[in-house]
Amino acid sequence: MTDNVDIIPHQDAIIRLENVSKRFGDLIVLDDVSMSFERGRTTAIIGPSGTGKSVLLKHLVGLLQPDSGHVWIGDVDMAVANEKLKYATRRRFGMLFQDGALFDSMSAGDNVAFPLLHHTTMSAEERRAKAEEKLALVELKGLYDRPTPALSGGQRKRVGLARAIIMEPEIVLFDEPNSGLDPLTSDTIDELIGKMKAALGITFIVITHDIVSAEAIADRVGMLWKGKLVAYQETSKFVHSTDPVVKRFLERNLGHRW
């Protein structure tokens, strides 16, 4: 561990990665990563593209298995959990995928209501009402019946966001909520995340390669670089980091955005 990784006490952690390693063929993507995520707070993970940020996120929900190490969600180890336990644990999560991962054959609203259809006994009207409420929360009021292919990039993300929170999960994961969006739309998404943070008390984990966005929404920032967690601190401390790798990344990234 370097000086740039501040330890989170056990009792504050809702998720703990212990010595997680993952490789694809000869490519080592995660190299002995240990880190915890605090309950009820927002953590951003930054790093250049291709460093394994998405791979890390997929380990949390058991879409990928580590070659070695543990992924503790509460007292469930997703690294070894059987399918049944994995599916049960996933009910605690909501996730926004990089391009929304919406189903094109359904309307925007039916996408949002999809988890309700599968996990509740709500009637069609109740599902619609609930989905409309979440659509309003992401400022897409009235778009329930819009066909998914007709949505813009920013709208797709917001629909994905509404779907991610419809089951009122404890933990919400975001994979690059700002990628592919213009700065203005991107700020709107950040504001939405901020709004939900205040209102819902959820644990958010946000992956981004945009430090401005990370600074805007996160309580804590971690940086992945070449398969390692090179820094992990409170946001205010992180942005003034003296670590050469972090500094270089921050400077480049800020220069890029402004």
Partner 1 sequence: MNTLLTLGQFGIFAGRVVRSSFTHKLPVARTIEEAYRIGVRSLPILLVISFFVGTNLALQGYVAFRPMGAQQMLGMFVGLAGVRELAPIMVAAMVSAKAGTEMASQIAVMRIREQIDALEVMAVDPYVYLVTPRFLGIVLVLPALTIISIATLIGSAWLVTVYQLGEPGGPFLALVWNTTSGTDLMVAGIKGGLFGSFICAVSCFCGFTSPPGPAGVGRATNAAVVISAVCCAILNYFVSEVAYG
Ligand X SMILES: Nc1ncnc2c1ncn2[C@@H]1O[C@H](COP(=O)(O)OP(=O)(O)O)[C@@H](O)[C@H]1O
> Would you tell me which residues interact with ligand X (CB under 6 A)?
24, 27, 29, 47, 49-55
Q: Using CB distances below 5 to 8 A depending on partner kind, what does residue 118 bind out of ligand X, partner 1, Mg ion, none? A: partner 1
Asked if 61 touches partner 1 (CB under 8 A), the answer is yes
Helix, strand, or coil (residue 201): coil
Asked if 81 touches partner 1 (CB under 8 A), the answer is no
CB 6 within 8 A of CB 183: no
Asked if 95 touches partner 1 (CB under 8 A), the answer is yes
Question: Which residues lie closer than 8 Å to 213 by C-beta, 6 or more apart?
Answer: 44, 177, 178, 186, 190, 206
Options 37, 97, 232, 238; binder of partner 1; rule CB under 8 A: 97
Asked if 14 touches partner 1 (CB under 8 A), the answer is no
Cα dist from 234 to 25, 141, 226, whole Å? 35, 35, 22
Q: Using CB distances below 5 to 8 A depending on partner kind, what does residue 52 bind out of Mg ion, ligand X, partner 1, none? A: ligand X
Instruction: Determine the Cα angle at 189 with ends 187 and 190, to 5°.
Output: 65
Options 23, 58, 70, 146; binder of partner 1; rule CB under 8 A: 58
Asked if 88 touches partner 1 (CB under 8 A), the answer is yes
Cα dist from 1 to 10, 32, 44, 218, 226, whole Å? 17, 11, 19, 22, 15
Q: Using CB distances below 5 to 8 A depending on partner kind, what does residue 55 bind out of Mg ion, ligand X, partner 1, none? A: ligand X
Asked if 54 touches Mg ion (CB under 5 A), the answer is yes
Question: Nearest-CA neighbor of 30 among 57, 3, 10, 7?
Answer: 57
Options 18, 48, 72, 114; binder of partner 1; rule CB under 8 A: 114
Asked if 89 touches Mg ion (CB under 5 A), the answer is no
Q: How far is the CB of 61 from partner 1 (least distance, A)?
A: 5
Asked if 93 touches partner 1 (CB under 8 A), the answer is yes
Q: How far is the CB of 41 from partner 1 (least distance, A)?
A: 21
CB 231 within 8 A of CB 35: no
Residue 142, sorted as left (phi over 0), alpha (psi -120 to 50) or beta, turns out to be left
Q: How far is CA 142 from the centre of its chain?
A: 26
Binding site for partner 1 (CB under 8 A): 58, 61-63, 87-88, 90-91, 93-95, 97-99, 101-103, 114-115, 118-119, 163
Binding site for Mg ion (CB under 5 A): 54
